[in-house]
Amino acid sequence: MVRMRFPKRYLIVLLTFICTNVCYIERVGFSIAYTVAADAIGVNQANKGMILSMFYYGYILSQIPGGWAAQRIGGRRVLLLSFMLWSMICGLIPLDPNRVTILVLSRLFVGVAQGFIFPAIHTVLAQWVPPQERSRSVSLTTSGMYLGAACGMLFFPSLVKHTGPQSVFFVEAVLGVAWSVIWLKFSSDPPRADLPKVSMPKVASRDMIKAQAGGVVAPRTVKIPWRRIIFSLPVWAIVVNNFTFHYALYVLMNWLPTYFELGLKLSLQDMGSSKMLPYFNMFIFSNIGGVIADHLITRRILSVTKTRKLLNTIGFIVSAFALMVLPLFSTPSGTVMCSAISLGFLALGRAGFAVNHMDVAPKFAGIVMGVSNTAGTLAGIVGVGLTGNILEVAKASNKDLTDSETWKTVFFVPAYLCIFSSVIFLIFSTGEKIFE
What lies within 8 Å, CB to CB, of 258 at 6+ separation is 35, 45, 48
Question: pLDDT for 172-186, tens place per residue?
Answer: 999 999 999 999 999
Per-position b or e across 244-268, b if 16+ CB within 10 A of its CB: bbbbbbbbbbbbbbbbbbbbbebeb
Looking at residues 236-263, what average pLDDT do you find? Answer: 87
In whole angstroms, how large is the CA radius of gyration of the chain?
A: 21
Task: State the pLDDT at residue 1.
Answer: 44
Question: pLDDT for 13-48, tens place per residue?
Answer: 999 999 999 999 998 899 889 988 888 888 887 788
Q: Identify the residue with better confidence: 292 or 275.
A: 292
396 pLDDT more than 50: yes
296 pLDDT more than 60: yes
- Give me the chain's average pLDDT, please: 85
Looking at residues 78-99, what average pLDDT do you find? Answer: 90
Angle between helices 332-349 and 233-262 (to 10 degrees): 170
Distance CA 251, CA 118 (A): 20
φ, ψ dihedrals at 403, nearest 5° = -95, 125
Question: pLDDT for 329-346, tens place per residue?
Answer: 878 888 889 999 999 999
Indicate the SS3 state at residue 202.
coil
What lies within 8 Å, CB to CB, of 231 at 6+ separation is none
Q: Identify the residue with better confidence: 319 or 47.
A: 319
Task: State the pLDDT at residue 210.
Answer: 40
What is this structure's pTM?
0.76
213 pLDDT more than 50: no
Task: State the pLDDT at residue 268.
Answer: 65
Distance CA 266, CA 332 (A): 8
Amino acid identity, residue 56? Answer: Y
User: Do the beta carbons of residue 248 and residue 414 sit within 8 Å?
Assistant: yes
197 pLDDT more than 70: no
Looking at residues 398-425, what average pLDDT do you find? Answer: 88
Q: Percent of the chain beyond pLDDT 90?
A: 39
DSSP 231: T
Task: State the pLDDT at residue 212.
Answer: 39
Q: Identify the residue with better confidence: 11 or 131.
A: 11
Positive/negative CA dihedral, 370, 122, 146, 20: negative
Please state, in angstroms and as integers, the Cα–Cα distance from residue 168 to each residue in 174, 252, 296, 358, following that order. Answer: 10, 20, 42, 35
Q: Identify the residue with better confidence: 192 or 383.
A: 383
Distance CA 393, CA 327 (A): 18
CA proximity to 282, closest of 191, 165, 177, 152? 152
On the CB side of 284, CA atoms within 13 Å amount to 11
List, in order of start, the domains of the chain with CATH numbers: 7-187 (1.20.1250.20), 226-435 (1.20.1250.20)
Task: State the pLDDT at residue 284.
Answer: 93
Task: State the pLDDT at residue 214.
Answer: 43
| CA-based max dimension of the chain | 67
204 pLDDT more than 50: no
